[in-house]
Amino acid sequence: MSNQSTSGTVETQPTSDGVARQLGRQVEDATRKYKGGTERAQLAMGHPNFSEEWYSFLSRLAEEQALRLPLIQRPTWKVLTRTCDDANSYTADLKAGGFRIGDWAADIMKKAGFKKGFDITTLELVIASGTELTSKERPTTAEIYEGIHNVNGELIPAWAGPELRKQYPDQPVGEVLIMAMETITASDGRPGVFSVGHADRVRWLYTRWARPGYRWDGDGRWVFLRRK
C-alpha cells in the first residue's frame, strides 16, 4: 500500500560550541536580571523536566523568530518524503490513521491532476500568510501565487496535501494550512486546492475553492515549496 512512513521533520545537527557559548552568556545575563530571585531560579534548576522544558522553550523562540525573517530567508518549516504511490493508498492510510477526508478532497484525489508530481519524492516546505506574500489584506489566489514566485518559491505537488495530513498528527487545534498547488477541477467544475486543519478534535483534509480571482483572508497561511 505505502512505503515506510517518515517523521517529516527537518534533519538537525548538534549545536556548535560557539553558539552554545554565546547562548550560555545570554542565559547568564538574563538569569542575573530575573526578578524571581535566587530561590526561584534554584527551584527551576531542580525541576525534573528542566532539560525538556528548556528545549521546548528554545524551539518555540526559534519558530517565532523564523516568522520574523524576510520570506526569502525563512528556513524550511518541514520536510516531506512521499510515502504513498497513488490516491487509493493515501485514502487508506488516512482513514487508518483516524483522519477525516472531506467529500470534495476525496473527489479531487480521483482526478488526473492529482497524479502530477509523483516523480518527486521529497519536499522542503515553507509557510507564509497571504498578506506576507502580497502585502494585501485580501489577496487573490493569483496574487498569492505570484507572491510565492517572487520569494523564490514554487507550487507544491498535489500529493503534499494528504501527505502533510498524514505526517502532521500533532497539528495544533485551530490551525488551518492551505496548500499552494496547481488547482484541480472537481466534479462540479470548480477549481480546488487541499487544506489541512485541526478543529473540534478532528484532524481533517478538506478542499478550498481557488479561482484565480477569489479573495482570501490575508491571515490565511499557505504552504509552498522552496525552490532549489
User: What pLDDT digit, counting tens, does each position of 46-93 carry?
Assistant: 999 999 898 888 878 877 676 666 676 778 999 999 999 999 999 999
- Phi and psi, residue 141, nearest 5°: -60, -45
In a domain, 11, yes or no: no
In a domain, 6, yes or no: no
Q: pTM here?
A: 0.73
In a domain, 193, yes or no: yes
8 pLDDT exceeds 60?
no
Is 207 found in the same domain as 152? Answer: yes
In a domain, 30, yes or no: yes
- Residue 40's domain spans which residues? 17-66
29 or 159: whose pLDDT is higher?
159
12 pLDDT exceeds 80?
no
Distance CA 152, CA 189 (A): 31
pLDDT value, residue 208: 98
In a domain, 149, yes or no: yes
Q: Which of 66, 93, 124 is the last residue of a domain?
A: 66
In a domain, 5, yes or no: no
Is 161 found in the same domain as 93? Answer: yes
What sign has the CA pseudo-torsion 129, 104, 173, 95? negative
Mean pLDDT, the chain, rounded, equals: 90
39 pLDDT exceeds 70?
yes
**Average pLDDT over every residue of 194-198:** 98
228 or 181: whose pLDDT is higher?
181
1 pLDDT exceeds 90?
no
When pLDDT is cut at 50, 70 and 90, the band that residue 7 belongs to is: very low
Place of cell 497524479: 115
Is 83 found in the same domain as 27? Answer: no
In a domain, 2, yes or no: no
Is 162 found in the same domain as 130? Answer: yes
Is 107 found in the same domain as 62? Answer: no
Is 111 found in the same domain as 60? Answer: no
User: What pLDDT digit, counting tens, does each position of 145-156 carry?
Assistant: 999 999 889 999
Distance CA 115, CA 112 (A): 6
How many domains is the chain built from? 2
Distance CA 130, CA 140 (A): 9
Distance CA 130, CA 213 (A): 14
Cell numbers standing for residue 170: 500533532
When pLDDT is cut at 50, 70 and 90, the band that residue 227 belongs to is: confident
Cell numbers standing for residue 76: 524550511
Is 118 found in the same domain as 60? Answer: no
Is 123 found in the same domain as 44? Answer: no
Alpha helices in the chain (DSSP H): 17-32, 37-45, 50-68, 87-96, 103-109, 130-134, 141-150, 160-167
